[in-house]
Amino acid sequence: MIATIGVLEALVLAGVGALHFYWAAGGGLPPGIPKGAARVGTSILAAVFIARAVGDRKHVGFLKRVRDTDFARRDTRIYWPFCLLLGLVAAAIVVS
């Protein structure tokens, strides 16, 4: 249970950090951040979050095969949908 909470906290922190890139790529650039850098950073975050949602085809993501553990159930209900949402939002910002 502690490991699961740790993963959730890490994802939330990554999501909060990603908001900065999303904000910058969407046009609200703080001083000193070039628009190209914000787009590249947001593209990388989109790829990472979408890759996490897809998973490793064994333990995480919607393609996982191991589904009978507590972590797998939480991954299905919380983690991979959250990652997919963050990844799709980032991708939408990059292409807009």
3-state secondary structure of 1: coil
Q: Write the pLDDT tens digit of every residue in 64-75.
A: 999 999 999 999
Taking only the tens place, the pLDDT of each residue in 26-64 is 666 666 667 777 778 778 888 988 999 999 999 999 999
CA distance 11 to 60: 14
Q: Where are the domains of the chain?
A: 2-95
The Cα 25–Cα 57 span in angstroms is: 31
Residues 6+ apart with CB under 8 A from 49: 14, 18, 83, 84, 86, 87, 90
pLDDT surpassing 80 at residue 83:
yes
The total number of residues written for the chain in this structure:
96
Distance from C-alpha of 46 to C-alpha of 85, rounded to nearest angstrom: 10
